[in-house]
Chains A and B, each alone.
Chain A
Amino acid sequence: MVHYLIGNLGHLMIILSLVTAFVSFIAYFKAVQMKNLTWERYANWSYYFHVLSLIGVLIVLFLIINKHYFEYHYAWNYSSKYLPIYYQISSFWNGQEGSFLLWMFWNAMLGLVLIKTNKFWKSSVMAVMTFTQFCLTTLILGVVIFDLKIGSSPFLLLRDVVQDSVFVVNPEFIPEDGNGLNPLLQNYWMVIHPPTLFLGFASTVVPFAYAVAGLWMGKFKEWIRPALPWAQFAAMILGIGILMGAYWAYETLNFGGYWNWDPVENAIYIPWLTLIAGIHTMIAYKKNENALKAALILVLVTYLLILYSTFLTRSGVLGETSVHSFTDLGLSGQLLLFLVLFLLGCIMLLVSVWKKIPSTDKEISVYSREFWIFMGATVLCLMAFQVVIPTSIPVYNEVLGIFGIMSNLAPPADPAQFYSKFQLWFAVGIALLSGTGQFFWWRQMNFRTFKTEIQRPLMISLIVSTIIFVLAEVREVPYMVLLTASIYSITANCAILLRLKRTNMKLSGGSIAHIGVGLMLIGILFSSGYSKILSKNNTGLLYSNEFPDEINLNNLLLFLNEPREMGDYSLVYKGIRKKTLDLGYVDANLLTETDNPLLLQATEDIYIDSELRISKGDQVQITNNENSYFEVLYKKDNGDQFVLYPRVQLNNQMGTVYSPDIKRTFTADMYTHVRTFPDPAQETDWGEIQEYQVAVGDDFFINDYVATFKKMERIEQIEGVSLRENDVAVKAFIEIQGEYQNYMATPIYLIKDQMAGKIPMIVYDLAAQITIESIDPEEDTFTFGVRRSQKDWIIMEAVEKPFINLLWIGTLLLCFGFFIAILRRYEEFMTFRNKGLES
């Protein structure tokens, strides 16, 4: 039965939240204009209703997914029956509509906090907030007025989205199961990364709202104090969100890194940079009024860039240039409209008050902290500018297309190399400025004091860098420069930190964040610059003479149980495994499917560490039957060894997805992923039969392995065959000595209803199929038939990434620095607010 009620309820609540958002916007607007507390109270109540109905929408959508109402397109398209609850949560934001909802949810929560913490700014800031909320809500409205589609509702019935003949026959048809969650998103990071990133997205609206409110009310300076902790909060959360995304990509995708310069990644990196630039100018405004205009512009631009990135990733304009843009929902017009609306609004607002914004003609001194902050912000902006120009290439093509000009511009063919050649030098600039700027931060400086201050950190960093050059064999000049600059930044900021330890640790946010940046840069430098493909093909065999020599084959072919040398390692592929809930990795050939996709049954006794853990016929629990793991043993000459389990997921809808496995040590990560393996759907091609006539106790060869015919037994029962009185069944026991273990093959010969039957035994590890072909009772011998196939194999790539941990540690430190800074600035805001000095 189709559940109509719940969807209608959801849609009703969307409409309710749209109306309440609009009502609160109008009421807050009135409250500002008329300076009237009644309007404000009215607006607050309307806002609370908005939040409630929005939460209602979220609950309804989640229930539809959780209760598997596959008559709804959203549940059908993004979830399935056996999806664990935490992945049901990820299904929620798998689709565009759900991710908009997530964004709106955070917006709504932030609004509640703002109402709670503000007095003077409440109405004006909330007017801006509710307006953005109104715009966002229209995106999930899903109403068509005169052929004009406004928004896309998450509560559409499947039959309204997918045209299928089944609905003509039976409109009430409900599919048995859903499409399931995109396998790439079935990762714990995808449960927490999107909410974090969207919280970051959402919180950029707060400084924006303060800036707009400041311009609107003529409080050109005063908006900064309350906005600053929020800007820092947004930067921190966005930073963590980006880090999680990078880590997810590193762990799950198989492009071999954490950052791909994909437009979707860039789209969030750009506003993050401008936001950080904005924070720096917001800090500098007290001493230098010119910083004020810069702060205003940067905060406004950051939010516009957030809207622009939403437009890029969700309008379909990126087309084939990005691997992970969303499905085009036909919202591009609406998204563009918002972007233009906000852009024009900001420009008009700025122009109307530009003359009134205080500024100064006074030239700033090189020995003032503001000078260094300005320089830092400038470099950050250039960094963002450099990324936004090429990322927008698909947009240029579209725009030129409108004017009838065919443009065939494509993004740079090697993005990593292209972006790095700019970003590296900007990073050098950032490192030098963040190191040097800190000295001016805490003390009045002149040339002489500056010289004495800078001497020691400069000396230390030069010495440390030289040692690293020698030890890590850094030879490339750009890398040497970046490394030295980063170490200089770390030492200089450490020196400041030590001084602050004696005075006031509350002020240490800046230096801790800058130390984090220095570590990040070193981590990026080593893990990317010195990332080494270990699996380079060194067989010396050229594929074909017609190909140029410079083509590198980066992958390695491994046959089952056949060791191959790779650098310092000896590698052995040991077979396909299933990951069980309680017993870890178990040989996939010993397990068979049951009716429940989350349970597998053992076809043999299974030994783990030579201990019987699963008896034949027992069932084991797994988390996902689509996943299989390739066991690869890494051995070093000195006896060190470890095992990696790169994964493959075979998903009906999305095809085959590979994920790497990583061996982590402090100095380097060993990153391994499988590129391809024999298609499991393909029938095994068993070759010609070879016959061996042997007696009990004889040795013979099976696929080049020594085999011994141990014994034979008459058996009374065979699984799946009912034996009658006159039937005879015989089982032979053949022990085969493999490279790593012995196998017992037990083929069966039976005579049933006077017909001979052969039940073969397959030893997968040895790629051999063994049958009893005939029995010669007079000579007391058996004739075994042996068929061979190609051994199981994988093609894999192994990459070593040195010091990638510094990147993760550095990012965390950066965010921790922001956290300390937020506390300090928020405290400052509260003190002033409680004194009634908000404006």
Chain B
Amino acid sequence: MKKSHIIGILVIAMAMGIILITAGDASSYVTFDEAKRRESDGDRSKIHVVGKLKKANSDEVIDIIPSDDQLSFTFVMLDESGAEQKVFHPNPIPQDFDRSEQVVVVGSYQKGLFIADKILLKCPSKYQEEEIKI
């Protein structure tokens, strides 16, 4: 076998390895139910959950509770299937958090509580221009 063939085979093997590991490390968008099921199965990988903040009938966001020292907070989120879940985030409440129209939390269940390492917000004002101020 020629050197170049060996190198070629090695490169292909590495490329396959990259694809396989990426597939394994990729997270997924799931619902809270699915995330809970995974945790009870012993799967501790981090997942994405897309949803909205819980709102009262008056359209006001409710149940955002900061810790006494303001350094962390919990909130209640509804995933796409409508399931409610209390989520903990170890950082202060991001500004405009209650104005977001969509929330993506990245994290996992620990002891029955969803711990969000990362929160991605989609704010209506950020990319869209809807109203004109006179």
Contacts and interface: CB of A to CB of B under 8 A. Distances in A.
Interface in B80-132: 88, 90-96, 99, 102, 104, 106-107, 110-111, 113, 115, 117-118, 120, 122-123, 125-132
B48 A413 contact: yes
Contacts of B3: 363-364, 366
B102 A320 contact: yes
Interface in A93-110: none
Interface stretch (A509-517, A634-642, A651-659, A730-738): A651-659
Given A164-B132, A363-B3, A382 B15 contact: yes
A56 interface: no
Contacts of B92: 555, 675-676, 795
B117 to A, nearest CB: 7
A575 B17 CA distance: 53
B104 A320 contact: yes
B58 interface: no
A676 B95 contact: yes
Interface stretch (A25-33, A240-248, A403-411, A815-823): A403-411
A77 interface: yes
Main secondary structure of the interface of B (DSSP, over half): mixed
B69 interface: yes
Contacts of B131: 164
B110 A382 contact: no
B126 A654 contact: yes
A240 to B, nearest CB: 28
Nearest to A797: B91
B67 A544 contact: yes
Interface in B41-97: 45-48, 50, 67-72, 88, 90-96
Contacts of A382: 11, 14-15, 18
Contact of B70 (A414, A551, A654, A795): A795
A390 interface: yes
B40 interface: no
Interface string A155-177: 00010011010100000000111
A389 B18 contact: yes
Contact of A539 (B69, B94, B126, B132): B69
Nearest to B11: A378
B113 to A, nearest CB: 7
A541 B69 CA distance: 10
B132 A408 contact: no
Counting chain A residues whose Cβ lies within 8 A of the other chain, the interface size class is 35 or more
Contacts of A410: 26-29, 47-48
Interface string A76-95: 01000000000000000000
A527 B28 CA distance: 30
A543 B67 contact: yes
Interface in A779-831: 793, 795
B28 A409 contact: yes
A385 B18 contact: yes
A546 B113 CA distance: 8
A22 B45 CA distance: 53
B22 A548 contact: no
Given A320-B120, A408-B30, A411-B27, A676 B129 contact: no
B26 A557 contact: no
B46 A656 contact: no
Nearest to B107: A413
Given A320-B122, A412-B27, A548-B115, A557 B47 contact: no
Interface string A190-202: 0000000000000
Given A175-B134, A410-B48, A413-B117, A653 B4 contact: no
A412 B122 contact: no
A667 interface: no
B19 interface: yes
A655 B22 contact: no
Given A382-B14, A385-B15, A385-B18, A363 B129 contact: no
Contacts of A615: none
Interface in A533-561: 537, 539, 541, 543-544, 546-548, 551-555, 557
B71 A555 contact: yes
Given A364-B4, A654-B125, A551 B90 contact: yes
Interface in A625-679: 652-656, 675-676
A273 to B, nearest CB: 14
B130 A162 contact: yes
Contact of A537 (B47, B50, B71, B95): B71
A204 interface: no
A179 interface: yes
Nearest to B3: A363
A408 B48 CA distance: 9
Contacts of B47: 410, 413
B18 to A, nearest CB: 5
A129 to B, nearest CB: 33
A494 to B, nearest CB: 29
A418 interface: yes
A364 B6 CA distance: 13
A393 interface: yes
A386 interface: yes
Nearest to B120: A320
A505 B128 CA distance: 54
A795 B111 contact: no
A389 B22 contact: yes
A676 B89 CA distance: 14
Contacts of B72: 543, 551, 553
A327 interface: yes
Contacts of B26: 390, 393, 409-412
Nearest to B99: A655
Contact of B132 (A162, A411, A546, A552): A162
B27 A557 contact: no
Contacts of A364: 3-4
A795 B18 contact: no
A553 B7 contact: no
Contacts of B28: 408-410
Contacts of A166: 132, 134
B95 A656 contact: yes
Nearest to A70: B132
A175 B132 CA distance: 7
A363 B45 contact: no
A177 B134 CA distance: 8
A548 B108 CA distance: 12
Contacts of A537: 71
B96 A655 contact: yes
Interface string B4-37: 1001000100110011011001111110000000
Given A374-B7, A410-B26, A413-B47, 15 more contacts: A320-B104, A386-B22, A389-B18, A408-B29, A409-B29, A412-B22, A413-B106, A543-B71, A551-B88, A551-B115, A652-B133, A653-B125, A655-B99, A676-B92, A793-B70
18 contacts: A175-B133, A176-B134, A323-B120, A385-B15, A386-B18, A389-B18, A390-B22, A390-B26, A410-B48, A418-B25, A551-B88, A551-B90, A552-B90, A557-B70, A654-B125, A655-B125, A675-B91, A795-B71
Nearest 3 Cβ contacts at the A-B interface:
A413-B46, A656-B95, A410-B27
Interface of B: 2-4, 7, 11, 14-15, 18-19, 21-22, 25-30, 45-48, 50, 67-72, 88, 90-96, 99, 102, 104, 106-107, 110-111, 113, 115, 117-118, 120, 122-123, 125-134
Interface of A: 77, 158, 161-162, 164, 166, 175-177, 179, 320, 323, 327, 363-364, 366, 374-375, 378, 382, 385-386, 389-390, 393, 408-414, 418, 422, 537, 539, 541, 543-544, 546-548, 551-555, 557, 652-656, 675-676, 793, 795
